[in-house]
A and B are shown apart, each in its own frame.
Chain A
Amino acid sequence: MLCGAAAALQNRKEEINSLNVFPVPDGDTGTNMYMTIDAVRSGRGGIRNLAQYSEASAREMMRAARGNSGVILSLFFRGMAKTFSGHESADAELLTRAFRTGAEEARKAVLNPVEGTILTVMRECCSAYPASTNQDLSSLLDKFYHAANETLKKTPEMLPVLKRARVVDSGGLGFTAVLDGMIRGLKDEPIITVPEKTELRPAANFHEFETGDIAFAYCTECLVARKPSVTDGMISEFRAFITGIGDSVVLTEDEEIIKLHVHSNEPLRVLARLAELGELQFSKIENMRAQHQSLTSAGEQPESRMPDKKYGVIAVANGSGLTDVFRELGADAIVAGGQSMNPSAEDFLRSLKNLSCEHAIILPNNSNIVLTAQQAAKLAEGKSVEVIRSVTIPQGISALVAFDSDLGPAENIQKMTAAMASVTSIAITRAVRSMDSDKITVKKNQIIGIVDNDLRYAADSLEDCLRSLALDIEDKEIITIYYGKGVGEDEAQRTAGLLSDALGPDCDILTIPGEQPVYMYIISAE
C-alpha cells in the first residue's frame, strides 16, 4: 500500500512541483514528499504485522523527511503508527482513527497552522465519517480520497495566495496522490512508474577506499613547550625519527614551542620521544581506520568515545563559495541543500553522527529546512542539538559570526539569535513564471527582489530592482554580495558599484563568489 503511494508520488511529483506559488524555482514539494515516502520501499519485505510495519515505516519516513511537506507527511504516518500500535490488522474503525490521529500529529508540528494547506486536506478527508463505520477498507479509502479531492479544490478559497496564482495547494495535491497510491496498492492495481531517477544527493563514496589502504592507522597531533636545552640538532634527529616511522609529517618549531602532526602506527613511541623535548601541552591520537569505518557504516552502532570538542556546528549551504564562508567561520560540517534542494532529517543525522562534540548547533538557513532540522534534533540520540531558526543564508552567516566557543550553549543561542535580527537578507533572481498578488505583479523573466523571504520587487532590469532594494537598506553599514553561479566577477563588481552609488561612501560593500544556484545574488545588509 505504501509502496503504491510512493510510486504514485513518483509519477506525479513534477506536476506537484509545478504548483508552487512562489515564482522562484524552488518547486520541490512533490520531490520532497516522494523522497520522504520512498524510504519505505527499501527492505520492508519480512514484516507482516501491521503495528511493526507501520512503526518501522514511520520511523524511516521521519529520517528521510525533506522540506516542510515531507516532515508533515512523515508525522502523519507516525500518528497512524501510534494508533496501530498493538494491532495486527486494521478494520475501518481503526483506520479512521489512525487517519485522524495522523492529521492531528502533523498539525501539532507546525507552529502556525494555516488553512488551505496539506494540513486541511489531511483533517477533512477523514472527518466526515463516524469512527464506527463498518465497511471494507478500500471503499473507506475511496471515500477519504474523494473527500480529500473535494477539500483540495476548496484550498484556493481558503488561502488567497493560491487563488491569485490559480492553483490548488501543492502539498494537498501530494497527499491526494498518496491516498490514490494507497488505494491502488490495496487493490493490487498496477501503477506504471515513469523510469526516471534523479540523483539528488551526490555524496563522497567512502566505500571506494578500503581501510587496508590506510598504511598508518593513528593520527597524532601534539603541542610541546620546548625545553631550553633542546638544540636544533636534537630537532633534526627527532624529525628523522618521525619521518622514519610515519608519513604526513608536519613539524613546526621555534625557540619555545614544537608542534607535530604525524600519521603512524606507533603513537606512544611518538609521544615518548616528543616528551624528551619538553612538556606536552596538548595531544590527540585518533584511529583513522575506526573513523573510516564509522563513515562507511553510518547509522549503525552508537559511539561511546569522549567528544573531541565542546561545539559542533552544522550549516546548510549550496555552492562552493558559500560553503567556504561557513567553513572559514568554523562550521564543522556542511549539509548540501537550499532553496531548490531540501536535505532530509537523515542527512542531518549522518552529519551529527560524524561530529564528536558535546553540543551540536544546526543552522538550516532556509525556511523550508527548519522543520527538518528540528526533526533531526529530536531523532538524534544521546546528543544535545540546538536548531537556530535561521531562514536565510545571511542570517546563518551572521549567527555564526556571533558564535563564540568560549560561551555556554544558552548564551551562544541567545547571541546568535540576536545577531540574526540585525541583518536584512536579500535574494535576487529571474522570475520563472508570472504571478499576481495583492502586493505585486510579476511577469515571467523579470528580475525579482526578495527581502527577508518576502517577494517585494519585480523590475525589467537588475538596475531598477537594485534601486528599489537600496531604499530598504539605506540605514545599513555593511553590504555583502554573494554572487551566484553564472554571474561573472565583473558583473558582480558592477552590481556592487550600483549599490555603492545608491547607498553612499560610508557603506562598506564586499563581493564574494558564493557560487550558489537559483539566486544570481544573495545580499546581506547589516
Chain B
Amino acid sequence: MLSDEAVPSTEIAVERISMVFGKKDHEVEALRDVSFEIYKNEFVSLLGPSGCGKSTLLRLMADLLEPTSGRITIGQEHPREMRLRRKFGIVFQNPTLFEWRTVKDNIELPLEVFGIKKSEYSKISDQLLEMVGLTPFKHHYPWQLSGGMQQRVAIARALSLDPPILFMDEPFSALDEFTKEKLQLDLLEIKKKTNKTIVFVTHSIPEAVFLSDRVIVLSSHPGRVHSILNMDREEGSPSLVRQSGLFHEMTAAVRKCFYKESDSLDGQMV
C-alpha cells in the first residue's frame, strides 16, 4: 500500500490541461487548467457529476484525444509513446466486445494485434479466464453472457498484455447493484494480485471511496479539479470496509465537496 513506501514515484503527470471541443461558434470548454499526479501502483478515482470532463481526461491520458493545451506524461513519456508500447489497457462503460469472437478470442484480441504467437497467447488467455472466473464460458459468444460477465471479459482483455496501467471509464455503471458490488470486490482482488496502477472514472461516491487510494474530485462546466482526497484505506477484509466508520466518514467528506459546489451552482443558475 501507498503508505508503506517512503517516496511514491509519479506514474502519470497531468500538467495544466485544457480541452475545448467544437469549432469557433460552438465552443465547449470541457476542461480548464487541470493538474494532478498519479503515483505508481495507486488506485485513483476521477469523480464528478456528468459533464465534468472525467471521461475526456481519461481519453487524454490514453492518447485517444489531444489536449488543447497542457501536457500529460506517463513515466516521463508522451501518452502516444506509451500507447504504441501497449503500456495500458482500457475498459469502457459498455463491454465493447467483438460479437463475432468467442470469450477466449475476445481476450486474445490485443495479443493478436501485438503479434504474439498463438501457442503463447492461448496460455495467457486461459490464465486470465481463470482469474475472472469465466473458464467454463470460454467458447461462448458475448451475447450469450450477462452484462456482468461481459464486463469481466472486457477486464480480462484489458489485462491480457499485462500493462502496468489500467484505465477504466465507468466500467460498472451499467450493471445492477449486486453485480456491481461483486465486480468491485473482484477488481480489488485483481489489483492486489497484479498491483497495477488503476485510473478509475466514476460518478458514484461510494464506489470511488470503496475502491480508491485517492479520489480526485472534479467540478463541472468547465471541468476543474475541485479537491484531491486521500482515502486512508483500512486493512482487512474489503467486505467489512463498507460498514466501517471510516468508510462513512470518507464518503461524507467527499459528499461535502459536492454540497458546497451545488450550493454555489444554485446561486449561479438563478
Is B truly associated with A?
no
Q: B: which residues have CB within 8 A of A?
A: none
